[in-house]
Structure 1
Amino acid sequence: MNEIRSITPNEIDALISLIANAYPSFDATREETVQPFRKQVLASIKDPGPSRFYAYYRDEQMVGGMRLYDYTVNWHGSKLLAGGVGSVAVDLLHKKEKIAKELLTFFLRHYRGQGAHIAFLYSFRPDFYKRMGFGFGTTWYEYRIQPASIPKGQGKEQLTYLTEADIPQLRECYQRVMEKTHGMIEISDQDIKRWFTDKKNRIVGYKRGHLIHGYMTFQFQNNHPKNAFHNDLHVKEWIAEEPAVHQAFFAFLHSQADQFQRVVFYVQDREFYHLFDDPRNGTYNMIPPLSHEMHTTGAGLMVRILNAKRALTTPAIYPFGKVNAVFTFHIRDSFLTENEQRFTIQFAEGKPTLSNHKGEAPVVHMDISDLSALLYGAVSLDTLLTYGQVTVSEPAATQALLALFPKVATPVCTTFF
């Protein structure tokens, strides 16, 4: 008999064994790795909060597991419930038995039943989750910049090292930025405390009066096998409420040229390279016909709409253009069959209403993965139409459809799970 349920305290060791086999980076031979994880799991069992561990049992044997997260996300200016999933693991002896599929189906239906519009995950293989209906989220860019090429900035005297005593103010700073930034997820004091648990982290903040207006976490990393003095400074997170904070961080990083060869940035801003005199990343690769390599790019967070009909009839799901039109949407969803839908929506000045329109309306065909990325703001409708990922039965209706889905702010998400 197969069952998916939350785990009990006496099953924690079985979960640890499962995770260790699925994720070799989780070194179960080291107590400094295992003990914090064991405490974390036990705490989530005793006091179920925003995250819980579930396992897949076959005849009472644990053969799969995952962790679910309840999130609140800034979605185009509205706070919406979203579900996250991480630590998806399958026993090595039970691969290719559709256990991961059943775990993900449980995850999606759980949050769909909770009334959430959105599901998030970080993929170990994008193609695997794309076939499950997840669309790509915001692109990450890794820049490797020489400190001397970073703007000189100003205001470095406002920077100070932060400690755990600053956690409440750090969270307040993050919250203020989150409430103005589409895509960001609320975090807790416990989330921030983990930054200080990682002893490699250095955290500096921009303080004015009693408030923190920005912070930066960074680490040092050696870049030469035979020279301990050859190091890069890796900026892990950078939050700023105003331009003065950016300028202070620039001044700090620019001043590090004597100690670090490169400052490594991980950002979601595709225009970031405009800040530097020399944005090249040190590989000196040339991209035809005559372009200098500036960064490497990665696909990280993936997003999925859980109920297409409910989402597209919810005004908060997208800042629809003020268009008067009627469209029939045919959404393909081969993974979550109840979400394979065809429905008609009437838009009055951009406000959507499910319609029983009797006449023929233009039909918009798209996959749930593309709809998810579109509503998230990670891809434009213009792009999807141009490459044929979205089609419209009546070409004359294309302009009205484009006006209904104007380009929006690119989402930003710094939460990892």
Structure 2
Amino acid sequence: MEIRQIAADERTDTMFPLQTYAFMPSPWTEADRETYAKRMVFYRTVTSLIAEEGGQTLAGVAAFPMRQNVRGVVHDMAGVASVSTHPSARRRGLVRQLMTRLMQQMREQGCAVSALYPFRPSFYGKLGYVGVPRVRTATFAPEGLSHLLRAELPGEVERLHLSEGFDDYNALTLRLLEDRHGFSVYDETRTSEFRESPSLWVAIARVDGEVVGAVTYWIDQYGGDLVAGDLLTTGPMGRALLLQFFARHVDQVARIVLKIDTNEVPELWGTDFAVLTEGRVDLPRRGGPMVRLLAIEALNGLRAGAEQDVTVEVVDDELIGGRYRITGAAGRLAVEETREEPQATLTCAGISALAYGVLDPIEVMTRGFGRMEGPAVERLAALFPRDMPYLFADF
């Protein structure tokens, strides 16, 4: 068995058959293959690895070059995707070998963090990944927002085809990348494919000419659903303008289905407002995302909750294993290697969970991601306060 990196043009004859069998209705057609081949121009910067044996591709993995905000610091990120194996080659450890090499290679290419959507979380947990919240959906009837139709708001919403409004939409995502913990975006090569995404509208909210919100959507049928993407806003006014826009569809659609982050509280959008807010995770189709640190240096500069310091040992991980002193000063974290005796022992999943703010130290221990004494629990809790990330950008 040989592992090798392939160019984008090679994916059609190597990874495509595996991906379509794993993730799409099958068998695939020649038209499916041609469509896929045309898309490869947008995959030129993707790192793709395959495992071959006797000239046959048995498994493949890939990493999209992305950027992600982690507690106020924007890092280069490896967005792992296209993970698939030929049915006859499963349970042979091929994906584990490919992932180990991919993570090492992406770290060497400058990626400090990584994220993915798992087919089985426990498998990726053994590779150091830990779960973060899945995007929520809010489902409601537009008449529940009727009060907004009477509101005089200082702004306007423009409806455009996504290809026409793409520059403003993309500029907003880049702005939110700098502000929102967990937010991530593709590089320019991959992003350019979305400009031509078919059959999507984009509603763009502006106040005094400044974009304060945007959301993509499509309508499935008259009297049916308005299905929207992520509600992207810079604050309450952007949200109000976009919700007011949705309210104007009261005599056209029965329901609005909208993606929201975990900080949104849709039941407070109106009085007597009936809404179903759901964060659904079921496997293998709807796995919650997972993340991990690829380099311990990713902790440098993150927002710190207090001026504390603690010595930790990260174990069982080839990429970030070692002893480190983590210090919080002037609101930021700093990390350095040390020979001091550790006050806490953490796995990669444990330190990643603290860095991303999804678990506190007690939960890290109860999940089996680390061991620590009382003082270290308090110090780590102070350094890494709870802060739920919003992992925008499906991949």
Structure 1 partner of 2:2:
2
Change beyond 3 A, Cα 1:22–1:378: same
Structure 2 partner of 1:118:
113
Q: How does 1:15-94 map onto structure 2 within 5 Å?
A: 15-25=15-25, 28-29=28-29, 31=31, 33-41=32-40, 44=43, 48-49=44-45, 51-94=46-89
Structure 1 partner of 2:325:
345
Tell me the alpha carbon deviations over residues 182-214 of structure 1, each in whole angstroms, 9 at most, x when there is no partner.
Answer: 222234566555445443322121245655332
Structure 1 partner of 2:269:
275
Structure 2 partner of 1:306:
294
Aligned length: 382
Change beyond 3 A, Cα 1:107–1:317: farther
Answer yes or no: is the 8 Å Cα contact 2:69–2:183 preserved in 1.
yes
Structure 2 partner of 1:183:
182
Mark the runs of 5 or more structure 1 residues left unpaired by the alignment: 223-228, 283-293
Distance in 2, matches of 1:142 and 1:279, equals 15
Mark the runs of 5 or more structure 2 residues left unpaired by the alignment: 282-286
1:248 is matched by which residue type in structure 2?
Answer: L
SS at match of 1:139: coil
Distance in 1, matches of 2:13 and 2:367, equals 49
Distance in 2, matches of 1:8 and 1:215, equals 32
The answer on 1:377 being equivalent to 2:372 is no
SS at match of 2:230: strand
Answer yes or no: is the 8 Å Cα contact 1:152–1:250 preserved in 2.
no
Change beyond 3 A, Cα 1:366–1:262: same
Structure 2 partner of 1:234:
227
**Cα deviation, residue 326, structure 1:** 4.0
Q: How does 1:139-178 map onto structure 2 within 5 Å?
A: 139-150=134-145, 152-153=147-148, 154=151, 155=153, 158-163=156-161, 164-178=163-177
Q: Cα RMSD (Å) of the superposition?
A: 3.0
Structure 2 partner of 1:322:
307
Answer yes or no: is the 8 Å Cα contact 2:292–2:349 preserved in 1.
yes
Tell me the alpha carbon deviations over residues 22-66 of structure 1, each in whole angstroms, 9 at most, x when there is no partner.
Answer: 2224773262x433320222564xxx43x2433221233221222
Change beyond 3 A, Cα 1:15–1:396: closer
The answer on 1:129 being equivalent to 2:117 is no
**Cα deviation, residue 387, structure 1:** 6.6
Distance in 1, matches of 2:195 and 2:349, equals 36
Query: Of 291, 295, 301, which aligns to 2:278?
Result: 295
Distance in 1, matches of 2:354 and 2:314, equals 13
Structure 2 partner of 1:218:
217
SS at match of 1:378: coil
**Cα deviation, residue 104, structure 1:** 0.9
The answer on 1:245 being equivalent to 2:199 is no
Change beyond 3 A, Cα 1:404–1:149: same
Answer yes or no: is the 8 Å Cα contact 2:61–2:95 preserved in 1.
no
Structure 2 partner of 1:392:
372
Distance in 1, matches of 2:226 and 2:176, equals 24
Distance in 1, matches of 2:109 and 2:279, equals 38
Change beyond 3 A, Cα 1:188–1:93: same
Distance in 2, matches of 1:280 and 1:30, equals 46
Structure 2 partner of 1:263:
256
**Cα deviation, residue 87, structure 1:** 0.9
**Cα deviation, residue 365, structure 1:** 2.6
**Cα deviation, residue 80, structure 1:** 1.3
**Cα deviation, residue 86, structure 1:** 0.6
SS at match of 1:4: strand
Change beyond 3 A, Cα 1:52–1:200: same
Change beyond 3 A, Cα 1:27–1:415: farther
Tell me the alpha carbon deviations over residues 66-87 of structure 1, each in whole angstroms, 9 at most, x when there is no partner.
Answer: 2221122222222211111111
**Cα deviation, residue 346, structure 1:** 5.9
Distance in 2, matches of 1:74 and 1:340, equals 20
Answer yes or no: is the 8 Å Cα contact 1:161–1:205 preserved in 2.
yes
Tell me the alpha carbon deviations over residues 107-138 of structure 1, each in whole angstroms, 9 at most, x when there is no partner.
Answer: 11112223432111111222222232210122
Distance in 2, matches of 1:345 and 1:94, equals 43
Query: Of 364, 367, 374, which aligns to 2:344?
Result: 364
Answer yes or no: is the 8 Å Cα contact 2:201–2:217 preserved in 1.
yes
Answer yes or no: is the 8 Å Cα contact 1:151–1:275 preserved in 2.
no
Answer yes or no: is the 8 Å Cα contact 1:326–1:346 preserved in 2.
yes
1:39 is matched by which residue type in structure 2?
Answer: K
Structure 2 partner of 1:416:
394
Aligned-residue identity in percent: 18
Answer yes or no: is the 8 Å Cα contact 1:21–1:92 preserved in 2.
no
Change beyond 3 A, Cα 1:245–1:190: farther
SS at match of 2:92: coil
